[in-house]
Structure 1
Amino acid sequence: MTAVTDHWDHSDHTGDNEGRGERGRREGREGRGGPGGHEGREGRRGRGKGEHARVADEDDGSEADPRDGADDASVDADSETAWDDGLIARRVSDTAEGQAMPEKVVDTKPPTVTPLAYDGSLRSRLDALRELVGLSRTRLDSKTLAEAGRVLDEAAARRRLSGQHTVVAIAGATGSGKSQLFNALAGVAISETGVRRPTTAAPIACSWSDGAASLIDRIGIPGRLRRRPLQSPEAEAQLGGLVLIDLPDHDSAAVQHREHVDRILALVDAVIWVVDPEKYADAVLHERYLRPMAGHAEVIFVVLNQVDRLPGEAADQVLDDLRRLLDEDGIALGEYGEPGASVLALSALTGDGVGELREALGHFVARRAAATRRISADLDAAAARLWPVYATERRTGLSEEAREEFADRLADAVGATAAGEAAERAWLRNANRACGTPWLRLWRWCQDRYDLMPGRLPVRTQADEEATARQRVEQAVRTVVEQAAGGLPTPWAQAVREAAVRGAQGLPEELDELAARAGSPAGRPPRPGWWPAAVLAQASMTIFQVIGGLWLLGQIIGFMSPNLGVPVLLMAIGIVGGPLVEWACKLAARGPARRYGQEAEQRLREAAASCGRANVLDPVAAELLRYQEVREQYARVTGVGASVG
């Protein structure tokens, strides 16, 4: 690496020098291509003298020449050995006014750059954010995840770059004196100052040590706008590793200037906000920049410049009012050893307080913690923006009570209770056929035939039944979805509703098929073991009636001798015993019939619940599980380490 230090001349003969420079350029063009094939030396010498006081002119695009004021040999050598990071070193000369003294230091060994290392906690939070974004891409729009993606990209990009350098931007409003402060910290007039507004049209970088080229490349500052401060062992020891950037005015009338500010503020490790006694309470500064950066207090310096314009104790009063405004913005102040923003008062014009700022910057840079603090603060800000889409203050999920209620609603929709009652009645009818008296069975058979005659009973159409069942199913789905989505953030509640709606399509038809398959089996219900004895007893009672009747009939026609006692007794036993047997059978059949009906109802309930679980509850539970996963990842991002809400 080749270091070039030029001695500046601040004489008032700029016009003459520029005239000589123009003549030198003409002579150089005339000399180029001559017998010697070299440029006009007078042209280069004139250009060096005419432009040695110009650092960078952002308006016309001209750039400072690293070979200003050098002789021909120095120019030729410098053209072959340029700075590897594009930084131009300059030094103000107090001994040789108006003369350029070239100095060349050759270091063939490239600077060693140590990448930035994140601690375990920050790495874990970044990994959690990456996992969180991956899990959320199908549920959240890209705009919602844009800030989180930017933080991940910037964290990955910054980690690959130097961890021994700290990039600090100087930002401020028009006329706040930030460029003057930039020059005061550098010890040399690097950034142009003046009455014309805006003065700084493009960001300028100044590095106190080697190896910062990749950091400055990331920010997008070209080589022509990279400078070196006044070289001294004291400055190198105090501010070694500092990369200072002078930004355009954040309130500039030029839109491009404001875009530069917004873009670079998102990339630097720390910021020095320069305010003046007139604009320190500017609403644009506080509402657009300071308040949104409240979480970045540890990497913020707030400097009240131009205190030399305030008489007496006015500087202390303005500084106290500035602290009050920062406190209202939510920016913690680093007072009494607590972490927070540093607030100082100084005058870049007189140098009062600049040494204190330089010392504070030296301690700040020496800790090598600004980059990780900035990434951590960006992570906190991204997590705060994502709070509405991940966190909730209510308990979420489906309780067992909600699941059982959903199953009951589906069972009602398929008529599980009615099916069980029907199965119970069928079992009892079967019992009556076997255990009832023949005369009573004949009567009931006739009654049933009569009831089935047209017009006797209202007939409910199948379409009405299907419509009622569909409405009950839809009502059951709506109820369970509202219970599941209750308390969820809007995107996840919408995902739960969509999953339930997709699963509910075709659910009524599936329930009808299940009801047909899982209902009472075809044919007669099964009979208990005591039924043959009951049938035999009922047959005996009938036989007694028949024998008694025939006996009496034979006595009436004279076929048999008169004897009323025995036939009457037989008929009485048959007539009374038959109903008694039937009544006893009903009592004995009530328990088995009820169990049979309950089994039929339970089969239908389980079938309906299984169908509802597969179509609705499982998709809803999957969405709730996904939300639980992202909520746990979000808790890791925030550093809580437990579920949020």
Structure 2
Amino acid sequence: MTDMADVTDATTLADGPGEIGSGRPDVRAKEAGAADAGGKGPGAKGDSGGGTGRRWNDGLIARHAFGRKGAAGAAPTVGVEGIDENDGTAASTEVHQPIGGTYEGPLRVRLDALRELVGLSRTRIEGTTLTEAGRVLDEASTRQRLSSRHTVVAIAGATGSGKSTLFNALAEVPISEPGLRRPTTSAPIACVWSEGAAGLLDRLAIPGRLRRRPLAGGDGDEELQGLVLVDLPDHDSAVVAHRDQVDRVLALVDAIIWVVDPEKYADAALHERYLRPLAGHAEITFVVLNQIDRLPGEAADQVLDDLRRLLDEDGMALGEHGEPGATVLPISALTGQGVGELRELLGRFVQERTAAARRLSADVDAAASRLRSVYVSDGRTGLGERSREEFADRLAWAVGAVATGEAAEREWRRNAGRACGTPWLRLWRWYERTRTPGGGVPRAEVIVEDELTARQRVEQAVRTVAEDAAAGLPRPWAQAVREAAVRGAVGLPEALDELAVSAGPPSGRPARPAWWPAAVLAQASMTLLQIYGGLWLVGQIIGVIQPGIVPPVLVMLAGIVGGPLVEWACAAAARGPARRYGQDAERRLREAAAGCGRAKVLDPIAAELMRYREVREQYSTVSGLTR
């Protein structure tokens, strides 16, 4: 059995008011043995701390704190959270696992949308831009795994504002040491009203030696059950490390109590660095005007009204007339004026157990606000039909589709002229071709512009369609569209050159219309009439045939006049088929060029625009925008 000397040794390990022992395993064993032997362990019936009979087996013993006397006349004890400050493991023989919560309703939908938004944007947006959103997701996941039965509230304020005094007044025991020396609070100190908050305190990096319990009997105080109150260093401390701790803890707590005094309530450092950026967190914010006992007459009301005005200018909604917003309250932590009302408001706030979800929802709002510029467009976005048509026209011009169609039309008409023209005219054309070296009329070939000119036209077409598609998009997405177009344009001029050959007019003579044989027969008949009339006339001249000049001349004239008429009629009839043939050649080349441009440039652009529409929908869900 452990003797009382061991108990004395274990108890003297504490080295200050309200502080705990070293947390060594052997000391904890001695303390536990002493408590079992004497029946006077912390929280046991009949102890001098005025406990309720329910033991809190944290395995650590705190020294007596100076304050209100317990039931037996002894000073009430100040408990601590049951965590070993050396390794963070539970020191209790009875392990209490924190029970995490779940996010339901709109908050869960918004978190899922934010996670999807970050995933879709990682390759399009700089990582630094998504840092805050990633932090919110990480904190949401971490907070969900921790106790949902506790609400972490930080008390923050400037030097000399009285936040430590208020901290002690709420705990009803002097835990945080106030004083004239500045800064007084050098590290966050936590007071826990119920067990199971070890994980939350570990998250705040508050060591075991700075974890306290309120006045003995406080764990039976129903109105503050689940409260974890944290006293922070001064936010305007001259020590940079203190300010860093304030910023770190404020980003993790569920709610904040800002303590201001009549002298510094309008301090620009407070409003510009904290209250204005946290204006969206009004529902989890308490602003208390401390030290009102120093203000005579109506001065307290005037200062309070001015404080409300400053908060309104900061954009922080005030919870007046039943509306959601920040709570503004005048108190005097030293005299206790208003502390009871604050304690009551804080108790109702804690028992709602919605502070963590409210804080997280406000963080999502803040992250969405920071991301607005990279997701919300200035106007209507997308690639219109007109832009697509203009892009196809530019590619068709670059590949020579128009010139190819015109050449095909001329070729068709030339073939018609050769087939339906008079023999004498065809003979004359043949004679002219034989007299002119290289004068043969070759088959019309595909006309393609100079390579450099065609390449420039293609590049211009790509740049134009990329700018049209990127118009109105936020900068990261506009850049992604341009890059997709540039990547797709690689090899596009060469592909168009190949199309100009493969998709041009077919080799050989064009197909002839149905009336073509009749026209050829009519032209042959006119030629025969000329020959017949000529032979008839020659026969009369040489005396073989009976003289009569009029009939053979009329026959010859019919053939001579009819031949050109047939040729003219065929040329007129050939205009329509020739035009259609040329248009068909132009259309095939235009469609081939448009298909190539669509596959290489328009489809990648459309994919980027589709991704943007997806992230835009997710952002609308994250920000709570109605569509």
TM-score bracket, normalised by the shorter chain, equals 0.7 to 0.9
> Percent sequence identity over matched residues?
67
Residues 270 and 445 (structure 1), Cα distance of their counterparts in 2 relative to 1, 3 Å cut: farther
Which amino acid is 2:477 matched to? W
The answer as to whether partners of 1:87 and 1:226 remain within 8 angstroms in 2 is no
Residues 517 and 524 (structure 1), Cα distance of their counterparts in 2 relative to 1, 3 Å cut: same
Aligned partner (choices 307, 312, 322) of residue 337 of structure 1? 322
Cross-structure match for 1:378:
363
Q: 1:268, 1:191 → 2: CA distance?
A: 19
- Secondary structure at the aligned position of 2:523 is classed as helix
The answer as to whether partners of 2:99 and 2:148 remain within 8 angstroms in 1 is yes
Residues 212 and 430 (structure 1), Cα distance of their counterparts in 2 relative to 1, 3 Å cut: same
- 1:501 maps to 2:486: yes
Which amino acid is 2:332 matched to? S
Aligned partner (choices 251, 273, 280) of residue 266 of structure 1? 251
Measure how far apart 1:413 and its partner are.
1.5
Q: Alpha-carbon deviations, 1:375-433, whole Å to 9, x = none?
A: 10001111111111111131111122221221122112212222222212111111111
| Unaligned ranges ≥5, structure 2 | 42-55, 83-91, 440-444
Residues 448 and 228 (structure 1), Cα distance of their counterparts in 2 relative to 1, 3 Å cut: farther
The answer as to whether partners of 1:555 and 1:561 remain within 8 angstroms in 2 is yes
Which amino acid is 1:580 matched to? L
Aligned-residue Cα RMSD (Å) equals 3.4
Measure how far apart 1:344 and its partner are.
0.7
- 1:94 maps to 2:69: yes
Q: 1:446, 1:330 → 2: CA distance?
A: 95
Residues 88 and 371 (structure 1), Cα distance of their counterparts in 2 relative to 1, 3 Å cut: farther
Q: State TM-score, norm by structure 1.
A: 0.84
Residues 88 and 138 (structure 1), Cα distance of their counterparts in 2 relative to 1, 3 Å cut: farther
Aligned partner (choices 398, 407, 410) of residue 425 of structure 1? 410
- 1:54 maps to 2:29: no
Cross-structure match for 2:137:
152
Residues 283 and 349 (structure 1), Cα distance of their counterparts in 2 relative to 1, 3 Å cut: same
Residues 102 and 572 (structure 1), Cα distance of their counterparts in 2 relative to 1, 3 Å cut: closer
The answer as to whether partners of 1:87 and 1:228 remain within 8 angstroms in 2 is no
- The more displaced of 238-247 and 92-101 is 92-101
Aligned partner (choices 54, 65, 77) of residue 34 of structure 2? 77
- 1:247 maps to 2:232: yes
Cross-structure match for 1:564:
549
Measure how far apart 1:218 and its partner are.
1.1
Cross-structure match for 2:156:
171
Residues 41 and 152 (structure 1), Cα distance of their counterparts in 2 relative to 1, 3 Å cut: closer
Q: 1:233, 1:249 → 2: CA distance?
A: 27
Which amino acid is 2:17 matched to? R
Residues 288 and 124 (structure 1), Cα distance of their counterparts in 2 relative to 1, 3 Å cut: same
Cross-structure match for 1:610:
595
The answer as to whether partners of 1:277 and 1:304 remain within 8 angstroms in 2 is yes
Cross-structure match for 1:34:
none
Residues 230 and 104 (structure 1), Cα distance of their counterparts in 2 relative to 1, 3 Å cut: closer
Q: 2:462, 2:97 → 1: CA distance?
A: 65
Q: 1:343, 1:445 → 2: CA distance?
A: 106
Which amino acid is 2:110 matched to? R
- 1:598 maps to 2:583: yes
Q: 2:299, 2:543 → 1: CA distance?
A: 146
Q: 2:261, 2:393 → 1: CA distance?
A: 72
Measure how far apart 1:300 and its partner are.
0.3
Measure how far apart 1:39 and its partner are.
11
Q: 2:587, 2:399 → 1: CA distance?
A: 12
Q: Alpha-carbon deviations, 1:619-645, whole Å to 9, x = none?
A: 000000011111111111112353xxx
- Secondary structure at the aligned position of 1:244 is classed as strand
- The more displaced of 147-156 and 424-433 is 424-433
- Secondary structure at the aligned position of 1:256 is classed as helix
Which amino acid is 2:622 matched to? V
- The more displaced of 514-523 and 330-339 is 514-523
- Secondary structure at the aligned position of 2:130 is classed as helix
Which amino acid is 2:258 matched to? W
Aligned partner (choices 196, 206, 225) of residue 181 of structure 2? 196
Q: How does 1:354-503 map to 2 (within 5 A)?
A: 354-445=339-430, 465-503=450-488
Residues 449 and 114 (structure 1), Cα distance of their counterparts in 2 relative to 1, 3 Å cut: farther
Q: State TM-score, norm by structure 2.
A: 0.87
Residues 596 and 75 (structure 1), Cα distance of their counterparts in 2 relative to 1, 3 Å cut: closer
Cross-structure match for 2:207:
222
Measure how far apart 1:45 and its partner are.
9.4
Q: 2:415, 2:313 → 1: CA distance?
A: 85
Cross-structure match for 1:6:
none
Which amino acid is 1:146 matched to? T
Residues 124 and 612 (structure 1), Cα distance of their counterparts in 2 relative to 1, 3 Å cut: same
Q: 2:256, 2:59 → 1: CA distance?
A: 23
Aligned residues: 591
